[in-house]
Structure formats: C-alpha cells, structure tokens
A and B are shown apart, each in its own frame.
Chain A
C-alpha cells in the first residue's frame, strides 16, 4: 500500500471539507492539528510604543505570520493561513466605536449611551474608511503579496447582529433596552446586520479577487461564500428572546452564504441549541464548551444532537486521545477533528492521522 502524505494539500483538504459541510466524509474527516516547531520562528521583534500600534501595524502582523507559517509545516487539513485581526468588534468600529487593545484581544468603547441613541445609530451608514477597517484591508493586501500563493489569507472576525449592538452599547444596557423598547432594538439590529453583510461582501470580493479560498479563524475551506455566524449575546438571554430576536437576525446574516458553521459559545448558551439547529442555512455547529468545562468527550450528547439534526460538527478536542474517543463514539461522517494540544513532533502527528484513517475506513 502506498504511504499516505499527511502534509497539507489544498486539493485533498478542500475535498474533505466539501464532504464535511454536507455531513459526509471522504477518506477521513478533516483534521486540524499543530506540531511543536523544531526551531523557534524568527519573528520580527515588536518595538511598538503601544499595543494599539502593534495591532494596527499591518506590515509587522504580516511578517510575524510569515515567519510563523514558514517555520511550521502544516499537517492534515489545517489551512496554513494568516488571519487579519483587530479583535471581535470590527463591525462595531464601522459605527465609530474605538477599540482598546490588550495583549491577545481587544475591547470596544461604547458609543450608544442611552436608548434614544439607537435612532441616531439607525440613521448612520457604516464607515469603511475608519482606521481599523483600513488596517484590515492593508493586512489583506500585504499578505497576499508577501505570501505569493504559498500561504492563504483568511477572512477577518466579523461578529454580527446583537454582538455589534452589545459592542456599541454594552451588554447590560442592551439587555435593558430589549425590555424597554424591543422594536427599536430590533430595527437597530437589522441595520447592524446589513452593515455586517456589506462588510462580508467587501472581504469576500477582495479575497476572491486575490485568488484566495474562503477560510477564516475557523479554518474550513469552501469555494463560495461561507462564514461562521455567531451571537455571544445569546448566553445572556432566554429562549424566547433567542427565538424572537436573534434567530431572525442570524437568518438575515446567513441568507447569502453557501456554507455556515454556527459558533455556539459556552454552556450558558446551550439552551439555544434547538433554535440554532433550526436555522435554515446552517451546515454545521462549532460547540465551544470553554476552559473549565471538561473535554470534548464530555459533550458527546451535544454532538449527537447536532448530528441527529443533520448538521456537521467541529470537535474541539483537547488532545489526540480526546479526539479519537469522540471519533469512535460518533463515527466519521460530518465530523471535523481539531486537536488543541500540539503534537511533539511530525511522527506523532502522522501516526495520529493514520489512526484517524483506520477508524474512518
């Protein structure tokens, strides 16, 4: 039997993701994994005066990614890509929100200070000339040029619907607004979702024009519009609010997509799983149980519920043993394994991929 090549292959990975989106499998499920680098990446050193300067320095971000990708061969179906990123509130910045940067994430300063301000927001068109969006565009252009087709450029993180509003208003005040004037908030959300779709359209067209496939921080592949819809605000609200307010907004945002995987974040959001599974354009679910809430093996019932509803699942396994246990329990169809703990070396990674092949036969 010919020895299998376990290095990343765009053609093979694309075919595996094509099958996975539809709840099926090819030779095996898609697998995302990492190997500890033999040599540390010679990344450029940051001499930035502030974290903000570092985050928004497109050249530095692209060179850092290039150094990392160059020193870390990609295995399995882990797309070797650069993720242009300023944090989760990028769409909120289109409406004037400023970001505050931490080491590994950013926060949004609120610009909607009282209920009546939503009318002003609804009358405000999104501003794609703001420095955050411009930084993302610069990162995309620089990366496509620097990588020369060797690595891929991913879509940025676009949080939609009520997460945009929460960024502008703060989640607690948004909760109160939903009680005080639900129809005003619904109109505001529809406006936010239109901006989200325009942001997506711009990113999609730009990356497509550069010959990039559709991928993002959630490292799938698809040749056509695909994204990872989400609503972290879900964890705060009842099933009724999820059904009456959030479901229509997510439907609006997923209407133009060919493929979608919903990012369901945290046990407090799990009571909305039924609603998520009824989204008409949904292909898959990324269930993020989060740190402190066990391993993927502890959440088999959630995965089974998704599979029984005809949706594919991404498994966020802690390590190889966790991933293999879930694979044995669920079977290989409609399953995408992501192994969080890096393998010590390439031999361990390829041995794991071989085992996934055998279990998928």
Chain B
C-alpha cells in the first residue's frame, strides 16, 4: 500500500497519472476517502502554495498540480458525497462587475479547492446582487472579490458595502493587481491577499481555521 506522503509528493509535482494511480491504490487498500483528501491531496497543494509564495514555482506549475488534484477528486467526490462528507467551509468567488478578467480569480479558486473549501465560482462581471444571492443561498463562510482594472475598483467597493449592509456573517476577501491592503481597509473588506498562496492563509484565518 502506498503512503499518503507519496500522494502528497505526486500532487505537488503535478504528476497527474501518478496522483490518480496512487489514489486508486490507497482506496483499494482501504484508506478512507476523507483521509486521502485531507492527509494526501491537501498537503500537496499546501506545498505548492508555499513554493508559489516564495517564487520557487509559477502559474504553470501551480496549474498542473491543481489538475492532478482535480483528477484524484473525480474518484473521491462520489465516495465522499455518498458518505455525507462535505468540505467544512464554503466560499463564493467572482470578478466584480465590469471586469472580465479571470485568471487571478481562477488561481485563488483553485487554491481554495486545494485547501478543501467548497468553492462556488460565479465567473466574471458579477453584480453585487449576484454575490449577495449566492452568499445567502450557499450560506457561505467567505466571499472573494477580484478586480484587475482600476476602473472596476468602485464596483468592488459597492459590492462590499452591499454585502456588509445585508448583515451576513460571511467574511469578505478582496484581491487583484491594483488592490492593496490600504484599499481593502478603506472599503471595509475583512481580508486582502496579494497572491494565490497567501489567499489560502488569509481565508483560513477569516473562517477561523488555523492557517
């Protein structure tokens, strides 16, 4: 029976075929699907996040790791669902209204999934009302707002205001090329992440999970 550490290494290296094979072997040997996710796959993506933060790897390497994990999850998710096991935290994410850029948002979404958050991706050009409706519908712990254009920063501010005014307990996190901690503070966001690696740490802190 392979070790969970082998699976972690395969995910971190983006080895899709090895990741799927090791997942199958672990399942066949009787490992619990939840353990495979939490002790095998998630630590692999955590390594990737740390390497990304230190500029040891870049977006292509991060994407192949996420793809490897996604392939493994295709095997595991039906088993988890049938056992009634769901991720503990739910996050909504999208790019704010007027902005069609999506790569930053996609990277964060991928890393949150890698940290075992359930992620509902609303896509790009998302109105404040749509964020609010999704946050209510999914009882989200976290809402992530992304913007690449300076011209759409006011839309981010409006979205934060509307979400806050709704009185939800949902935490709001913002990011994107022109966004700074100062801007996040100014508009009343609960958190700001400068990159996809940091976004996991901040998200965990915001929802109350130890980073």
Binding site for B on A (CB under 8 A): 100, 102-105, 107, 171-172, 175-176, 178-179, 236-238, 241, 266, 271, 290-292
Contacts A104-B151, A171-B103, A290-B178 known; A238 to B183 CB distance under 8 Å? Answer: no
Contact partners of B67 in chain A: CB under 8 A:
176
Known contacts A100-B100, A290-B177: A176-B58 contact under CB 8 Å: no
Chain A's closest residue to B125 (CB) is A102
Say yes or no: B60 contacts A176, CB within 8 Å: yes
On chain A, the residues within 8 Å of B177 by CB distance are 266, 290-292
Q: Is the CB of B59 within 8 A of A291?
A: no
Q: With a CB–CB cut-off of 8 A, which chain A residues contact B183?
A: 292
- Judge if B191 is at the interface, Cβ distance under 8 Å: no
Tell me which of A102, A171, A237, A292 has the highest count of chain B C-beta atoms within 10 A of its own C-beta.
A292
B3 sits at the interface (CB 8 A) = no
The answer to whether B103 and A238 touch across the interface, beta carbons within 8 angstroms, is no
- On whether the beta carbons of B98 and A178 are closer than 8 Å, the reply is no
B58, A238: Cβ atoms closer than 8 Å:
yes
Question: Do B60 and A236 touch (CB < 8 A)?
Answer: yes
User: In whole angstroms, how far apart are the Cα atoms of A172 and B57 in the complex?
Assistant: 15
Interface residues on B, range: 20 to 34
B130-158 interface bits toward A, Cβ cutoff 8 Å, 1 = contact, 0 = none: 00000000000000000001110000000
Contacts of A290 in B (CB 8 A): 177-178
Question: Which of B58, B178, B180 has most chain A Cβ within 10 Å?
Answer: B58
In the bound assembly, the distance between CA atoms of A202 and B105 in angstroms comes to: 37
Contacts A102-B100, A103-B98, A103-B151 given; does A238 touch B57 at CB 8 Å? yes
Determine how close the nearest CB of chain A comes to the CB of B19; give it in whole angstroms.
15
Rounded to whole angstroms, the CA-CA distance of A271 and B55 in the bound complex is: 9
A176→B107 CA distance, assembly (Å): 13
CA distance A125 to B98 in the complex (A): 34
Q: Is B76 an interface residue (CB 8 A)?
A: no
B binding-site residues for A, Cβ under 8 Å? 14, 55, 57-61, 63-64, 67, 98, 100, 103, 106, 149-151, 177-180, 183
Q: Is the CB of A102 within 8 A of B60?
A: no
Alpha-carbon distance between A183 and B180 when the two chains are bound, in angstroms: 38
A103 surroundings in chain B (CB, below 8 A): 98, 151
**B98 lies within 8 A of A102 (CB):** yes
B98 in contact with A236 (CB, 8 Å): no
In the bound assembly, the distance between CA atoms of A271 and B67 in angstroms comes to: 26
Closest 9 A/B residue pairs (Cβ):
A291-B178, A175-B60, A236-B59, A292-B178, A292-B180, A238-B58, A291-B150, A107-B100, A175-B63
- In angstroms, Cα B63 to Cα A179, docked, is 10
Contacts of A172 in B (CB 8 A): 59, 63, 103, 106
Q: Is the CB of A241 within 8 A of B60?
A: yes
Interchain CB contact (< 8 A) of B64 among A171, A176, A237: A176
In the complex, A291→B178 CA distance in Å? 5
Report the nearest B residue to A236, measured CB to CB: B59
Chain B nearest CB, measured from A182 CB (Å): 10
List, in ascending order, chain A residues with CB within 8 A of B61's CB: 179, 238
Inside 8 A of B151's CB, which chain A residues have their CB? 103-104
Q: Is the CB of A236 within 8 A of B58?
A: yes
| A241 to B64 Cα, complex, angstroms | 15
Distance from B16 Cβ to chain A, minimum over Cβ atoms (Å): 10
Instruction: Please indicate the chain A residues that have their CB under 8 angstroms from the CB of B98 in the complex.
Output: 102-103
Q: By the criterion CB–CB under 8 Å, are A237 and B59 in contact?
A: yes
CA distance A190 to B32 in the complex (A): 49
A103 vs B64: C-alpha distance in the bound complex, in angstroms?
34
Distance in angstroms between the alpha carbons of A311 and B63 in the assembled complex: 35
Bound CA–CA A292/B182 (angstroms): 9
